[in-house]
């Protein structure tokens, strides 16, 4: 009996009894090709466009306005009325919304205190103001405590 090297045994192809039949191999190749073709033909998912305006939180954040709205003091006043403008008033060379701007509430350079929020151009404390309880425009029937209407302490 001839001695066989273990490496040559492992490298040898499996006996014919263990190989899949040719029809099975062809079916496997066909299914793989079909899956690749379907994946290539599928339309790409496109993300929804971002919203056109910023949320109240982001609008109050101290982000600079888009470059076209900088230096509005050197441009016609109507620049702040253009679509996409952060606001209709030119304050310190930038278009601002004085109805909600923490730094320019109601007028240019009228900043609200740390505990206040700018609601409709007025600095209010949303923890105690019954007309703006917990947020701008939230009205309470009686009183506002800690930002909640009719809060039972």
The token pair at 135 is 């947020």
CB 149 within 8 A of CB 138: yes
Is pTM beyond 0.85? Reply is no
Residue 81: CB atoms within 10 A of its CB come to: 12
The pLDDT profile of the chain, 153 residues, written as one tens digit per residue, is 555 555 555 555 555 556 667 788 888 888 888 888 777 776 766 666 665 555 666 655 565 555 555 678 787 778 888 887 888 888 888 888 999 998 999 999 899 998 899 999 999 999 999 999 999 999 998 889 999 988 766
Distance of CA 44 to the CA centre of its chain: 21
Burial class of 119 by CB neighbour count within 10 A (0 to 12, 13 to 18, 19+): buried
Residues 91, 93, 99: CA angle, nearest 5 degrees: 25
């Amino acid at each position: 009996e001839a001695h066989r090297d273990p490496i040559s045994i492992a490298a040898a192809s499996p006996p014919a009894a263990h190989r899949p039949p040719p029809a099975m191999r062809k079916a496997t190749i066909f299914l793989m090709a079909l899956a690749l073709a379907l994946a290539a033909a599928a339309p790409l998912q496109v993300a929804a466009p971002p919203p056109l305006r910023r949320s109240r939180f982001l609008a109050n954040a101290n982000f600079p306005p888009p470059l076209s709205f900088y230096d509005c003091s050197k441009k016609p006043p109507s620049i702040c009325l253009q679509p996409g403008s952060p606001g209709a008033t030119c304050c310190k060379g930038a278009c601002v919304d004085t109805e909600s701007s923490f730094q320019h509430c109601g007028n240019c350079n009228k900043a609200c205190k740390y505990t206040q929020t700018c609601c409709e151009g007025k600095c209010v404390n949303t923890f105690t103001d019954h007309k703006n309880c917990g947020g701008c425009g939230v009205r309470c029937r009686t009183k506002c405590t800690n930002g909640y209407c009719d809060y039972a302490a």
